Amino acid sequence: MAAYVIVDLEVTDPVKFAEYGGQVPRTVEKYGGKYLVRGGAIQKIEGKWEPTRVVVIEFESVEQAKRWYDSEEYSGPKRLRREASNANLLIVEGV
């Protein structure tokens, strides 16, 4: 069953975040992930949530999404993301 990594983040260091952005796609691809949303324009239509940048990545399963997130390949980029942004991440099982 598909799973989705959903990220809401605020970039605090654009230079460092650009470095992250150059590294992370190959890690996502290695684990079979596919970007569905990657920071496009947001139109709020309801609620109190105020996201600044949203990313959605599809994986074949929750287990595969966790493999990517915990992987050696993503550890360096993950550190950069944490240094360059404030983020909320979820892994959501699909239907």
Domains and CATH numbers, the chain: 3-93 (3.30.70.100)
13, pLDDT greater than 90: yes
Q: What letter does residue 70 receive in the DSSP assignment?
A: T
Average pLDDT over residues 11-34: 97
pLDDT tens string 29-61: 999 999 999 989 999 999 999 999 999 999 999
Contact status, residue 46 vs residue 89, Cβ threshold 8 Å: no
pTM for this predicted structure: 0.93
Residue-level pLDDT at 95: 85
Q: Identity (one letter) of the amino acid at 53?
A: R
